[in-house]
Amino acid sequence: MREFIVEADGGSRGNPGPAGYGSVVIDATTGETLMEAAEYIGVATNNVAEYKGLVAGLKGAHQLDPDASVHVRMDSKLVVEQMSGRWKIKHPDMKPLAAEAARIFPASRVTYEWIPREKNKHADRLANEAMDAGKRGQRWSPSASTAEFDARAARAAAEAPSGPPGDAAAGAAKARAALSTASRGASNADAHAARNAAAPPVGWAAPADLGAPATFVLLRHGETPLTPEKRFSGSGGSDPSLSDVGREQAERAAAALAARGTIQAIVSSPLKRCQETAHTVAARLGLDVHLEEGLRETDFGAWEGLTFGEVRERQPDELTAWLASPKAAPPGGESFATVSRRVSAARDRLTEAYAGRTVLLVTHVTPIKTLVRLALGAPPESLFRMELSAASVSAVAYYADGNASVRLLNDTSHLR
């Protein structure tokens, strides 16, 4: 049986604050680094970042060989003791992450060891590279990483004989330069090939050189007093606030998104119910809310505040035309074709502004369904064939070549 060592770490500059993780998969026999992973995860705690690093490392090892045994080394006493079963997991943000980590390999094939921070330099430097990249609005790139060289240089300097004061820094620099020079050519090519071989494909069998996508996590606002009665509630009506149920839904969504720890920015429709939902999440994540006019709901004109049945009784011909054609609009309102153009323009602006980042878009039924429909290349009538619950989460990723991948639709698990 093949044996891997996973070293993982995470950090938060503020706790909670801007956070990132790093993880390394090492061949236990040869000591060769087989895979590195690092990611800026937005605002999170140290513990969330550490757990994210563990999950990434275990997933990387599983991709390399799902039948391997794994020895995890971390400088987080909390994670090591909790995953070893010696400490209880009490914090609600930790439980789903620990459960995810436990599902990757059978427990009988994973062992955990606490190590001092100075022996976890490689993963620590990866986490800091990821946080530095996130601060620049970029995504960590393995091709630009020097974490392995830095860690090896630091170990070499620490093991070197002591000399006059001031020699330590010079020795570390020399060691790093020597390691970097020695690792060029064939070794560097081998490392690059190993990373590419271990990296998961982007999209469905798409080449990895498309880069990191702009990922939009789509959150429908929480309930308003009109939602349970299924009344038309667009952008041309009274702009209702969240109900008590809607505020509770927003809190639950915020907790789930905080536990996920991947949101880097928040953009909201300007309508009140979305802003209230967005600010609830933003308060939990420590982020600002930016408004995007293109994410507002359809203007349903004369139908605002009415139920479907009431519209059918009062304006049956107009309703039939609206159901039959995306170009038909409610009296005084917007057609789905108009909304589609507006949402598409907003999508293009946001994709360019947040390339390579994960962004929460807090919006409404029609904009979310439209983004999903366009990503799938589905016809306009598909808008009537999707269920989208209040405070549900969906996700679409957009790549540099214009292709999109629907990752999630109408997830309400956080509300149960």
407 labeled binding residue: no
Quote the CA–CA distance of 104 and 182 in Å, as a whole number: 36
Quote the CA–CA distance of 110 and 46 in Å, as a whole number: 23
Quote the CA–CA distance of 41 and 234 in Å, as a whole number: 33
Q: DSSP string of 310-323? A: HHHHH-HHHHHHHH
Q: Is residue 330 reached through a cis peptide bond, with omega within 30 degrees of 0 on the bond before it?
A: no
* 79 in Cβ contact with 51 (< 8 Å): yes
- Bridge partners (DSSP) of residue 44 are 17
For residue 400, give every residue at least 6 positions away whose Cβ sits within 8 Å of its Cβ, in sequence order, or none: 210, 211, 213, 355
Q: How far does Cα 132 stand from its chain's mean position? A: 17
Cα–Cα distance list, 66 to 28, 105, 109, 198 (Å): 15, 7, 10, 12
Q: Which of 148, 223, 297, 318 is the catalytic position?
A: 297
**Looking at this protein, which amino acid is placed at residue 399?**
Y
Q: How far does Cα 278 stand from its chain's mean position? A: 16
Q: Which of 221, 304, 334, 364 is the catalytic position?
A: 221
Quote the CA–CA distance of 200 and 66 in Å, as a whole number: 14
Strand pairing of 393-398 and 33-44?
unpaired
297 is catalytic: yes
- Bridge partners (DSSP) of residue 220 are 363
Strand pairing of 17-27 and 3-12?
antiparallel
Name the one residue in this structure whose structure tokens are 């093991």.
Answer: 159
**Looking at this protein, which amino acid is placed at residue 18?**
P
- SS3 of 358, please? strand
- Bridge partners (DSSP) of residue 405 are 397
* 261 in Cβ contact with 91 (< 8 Å): no
Active site residues: 221, 297
Residue ranges of the annotated binding site for substrate are: 273
Residue ranges of the annotated binding site are: 273
